[in-house]
């Protein structure tokens, strides 16, 4: 073990030394002449500070002090760019997206964690994966799975919906739903609930039944499940081992056999690494079992198994059928299928559950907005019934505005990163020191500041930092429309843009609207006596204090009909 650590130290030291010597004798590129903050550390540059869990003020300071594009210092003395310039973003994510690829570190991290899934592939492999997956995230699919989402959120008893099949009714009877479980706690006098915990359990079950055709959690009682806990703490845990992914990038050409890599990770003397290893092993093993089970069912024509959960309309069942019917060149190998499932679990749960928690956090201190939303939902229920259909739910103006504004002001992901695979030129809509086109050498990494893009006062106005859903109920500022931010959702970059945008954003929005409308109709949310903070991370999450690894957000919850 000592020799392994000494070897790693020697490689890193040599790498840093070479970069330093090269910097002494190489003319400064144009992009390095841009203004920017001083480096905090020669090893971690500004990146270390940007990704600290309490870095919200620092992130905002950089956007306000240095404008839309500035120089930053990356790991080991490398220099890069931080931008939220719409024209630069359009070049990176749309016009020149084949030039701007995912960074080596993000690819190595994704491959090390779950293999060749959507978050770790690029180029032709990524396009082939999206071609296969796009149809199962269509609007038609969203309409079909909306009833199953309601079944998870509501407690529905046999006999209330005679038009449904007995299989569906049995499903709704078997699962004690989120709303019922929370109501039981509230009526028992346990009014301070860990809302992010309940949202995590609900999101995992929604992903399970809607995407995987599998039930993770019956939501019967207030218990902690090991698998759910591993999924919920995955992104908080990742923040502690970023240095490991930096090492992977340095060693990417000398990886060695997979058994050796696994052995090195298992013996690595860092509790944070071991925590992530256990999480990854459990999630990946589940994905392997599920793919094997579903694949065998499809090959055998076992419709009973495929229809057991979600009546065979889940993403996994549809994907496997489509994959088997696809041509040889379009078909996804099993390794990629397993990686997609593991990716769906970790990426689909935290982002949506924490966005829901953020919305309830905001509404808990804005009772007038909460009451306005409740009134809209209850009115819709009078017209359409307790389960508002997909099209009508999507069209509720204030619910849509609340979701849009929450995601604009508080995107789940604060940054995305790209690297130039060849020398290129980056255009700017706002010149820096008179420069409106920056020459960028091959290998330079650009960090996109999503939070700053979504709160740019030059576009959104002086109230850009304020949560104001009404901005979506009137025409947006002309500057926002003309900026043409290259995102796929609500004139923002919250779900990314281009060929690497979030493929499941419609799924996420449906989850958010079904859960939020159902809970607001039944419960009132207020701040509790237990404080919490939001941590900046790969996916922002709440805890009792900065740096804690266990997500937690207690709110006071009361039943509306009992208040």
Entry pTM: 0.86
pLDDT at 556: 94
What pLDDT score does 227 carry?
83
Do 511 and 489 belong to one domain? no
Nearest to 493 by CA among 392, 391, 411: 411
Looking at the DSSP bridge assignments, the partners of residue 535 are 541
Question: Does 142 lie in the same domain as 76?
Answer: no
Residue 107: predicted pLDDT: 85
Q: Tell me: do 310 and 285 sit in the same domain.
A: yes
Please give the pLDDT value at position 207: 83
Residue 175 sits in the same domain as residue 230:
yes
pLDDT of residue 157: 28
* CATH code of the domain covering residue 208: 1.10.630.10
Instruction: Report the DSSP beta bridge partners of residue 81.
Output: 71, 446
Tokens for 457? 């006062």
Mean pLDDT of 224-239: 80
> 361 and 247 in one domain?
yes
Looking at residue 9, its pLDDT comes to 53
Q: What is the pLDDT of residues 328-366, one digit of tens each?
A: 888 888 899 899 889 888 888 889 999 999 999 999 999
Mean pLDDT, residues 512-529 = 92
Contact 46, 81 (CB under 8 A): no
Asked if residue 493 is part of any domain, the answer here is: yes
Residue 428 domain flag: no
Checking if the pLDDT of 35 tops 80, the result is yes
Mean pLDDT of all residues in the chain?
83
Domains in the chain: how many in total? 2
**Order of strands across the sheet with 79-83?**
69-73, 79-83, 445-449, 415-420, 100-102
Q: What pLDDT, on a 0 to 100 scale, did the predictor assign at position 470? A: 98
137 with 124, same domain: the answer is no
Q: Is the pLDDT of residue 268 over 80?
A: yes
Q: What is the 3-state secondary structure (H, E, C) of 18-35?
A: HHHHHHHHCCCCHHHHCC
Lowest mean pLDDT segment, chosen from 312-316, 388-392, 550-554: 312-316
146: domain range? 133-410+501-562
Same domain, 185 and 296: yes
Of 27-36, 140-149, 335-344, 525-534, the least confident: 140-149
């Amino acid at each position: 073990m000592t020799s392994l650590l000494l070897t790693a130290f020697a490689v890193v030291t040599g790498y840093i030394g070479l970069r330093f010597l090269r910097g002494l004798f190489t003319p400064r590129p144009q992009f390095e002449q841009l203004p920017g903050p001083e480096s905090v550390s020669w090893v971690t540059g500004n990146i270390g500070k940007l990704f600290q869990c309490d870095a919200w003020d620092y992130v905002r300071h950089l956007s306000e002090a240095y404008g839309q594009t500035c120089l930053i210092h990356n790991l080991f003395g490398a220099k890069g760019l931080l931008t939220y310039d719409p024209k630069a973003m359009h070049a990176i994510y749309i016009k020149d997206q084949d030039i701007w690829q995912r960074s080596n570190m993000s690819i190595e991290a994704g491959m090390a964690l779950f293999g060749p899934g959507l978050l770790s592939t690029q180029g032709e492999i990524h396009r082939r994966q999206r071609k296969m997956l796009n149809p199962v995230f269509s609007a038609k699919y969203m309409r079909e799975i909306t009833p199953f989402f309601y079944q998870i959120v509501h407690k529905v008893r046999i006999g209330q919906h005679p038009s449904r099949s007995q299989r569906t009714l049995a499903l709704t009877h078997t699962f004690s739903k989120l709303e019922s479980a929370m109501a039981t706690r509230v009526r028992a006098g346990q009014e301070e609930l860990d809302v992010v915990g309940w949202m995590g359990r609900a999101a995992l079950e929604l992903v399970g039944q809607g995407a995987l055709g599998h039930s993770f959690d019956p939501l019967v009682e207030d218990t902690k499940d090991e698998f759910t806990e591993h999924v919920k703490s995955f992104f908080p845990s990742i923040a502690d081992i970023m240095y490991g992914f930096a090492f992977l990038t340095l060693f990417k050409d000398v990886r060695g056999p997979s058994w050796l890599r696994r052995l090195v990770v298992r013996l690595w003397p860092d509790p944070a690494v071991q925590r992530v290893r256990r999480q990854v092993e459990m999630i990946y093993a589940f994905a392997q079992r599920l793919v094997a089970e579903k694949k065998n069912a499809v090959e055998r024509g076992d419709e009973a198994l495929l229809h057991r959960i979600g009546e065979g309309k889940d993403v996994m069942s549809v994907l496997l059928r489509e994959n088997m019917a696809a041509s040889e060149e379009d078909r996804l190998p099993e390794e990629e299928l397993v990686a997609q499932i593991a990716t769906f679990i970790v990426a689909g749960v935290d982002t949506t559950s924490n966005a829901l928690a953020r919305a309830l956090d905001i509404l808990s201190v804005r009772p007038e907005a909460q009451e306005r939303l409740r009134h809209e939902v209850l009115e819709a229920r009078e017209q359409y019934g307790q389960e508002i259909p997909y099209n009508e739910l999507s069209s509720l103006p204030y619910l849509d505005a609340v979701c849009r504004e929450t995601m604009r002001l508080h995107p789940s992901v604060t940054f995305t990163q790209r690297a130039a695979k060849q020398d290129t030129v980056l255009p700017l809509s706002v010149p820096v020191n008179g420069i409106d086109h920056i020459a960028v050498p091959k290998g330079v990494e650009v960090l996109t500041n999503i939070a700053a893009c979504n709160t740019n006062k030059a576009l959104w106005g002086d109230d850009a930092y304020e949560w104001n859903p009404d901005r979506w109920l009137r025409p947006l500022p002309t500057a926002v429309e003309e900026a043409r931010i290259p995102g796929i959702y609500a004139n923002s970059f919250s779900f990314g843009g281009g060929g690497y945008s979030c493929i499941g954003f419609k799924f996420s929005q449906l989850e958010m609207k079904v859960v939020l409308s159902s809970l607001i109709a039944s419960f009132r949310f207020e701040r509790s006596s237990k404080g919490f903070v939001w941590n900046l991370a790969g996916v922002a999450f709440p805890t009792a204090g900065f740096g804690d690894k266990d997500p937690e957000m207690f709110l006071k919850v009361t039943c509306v009909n009992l208040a």
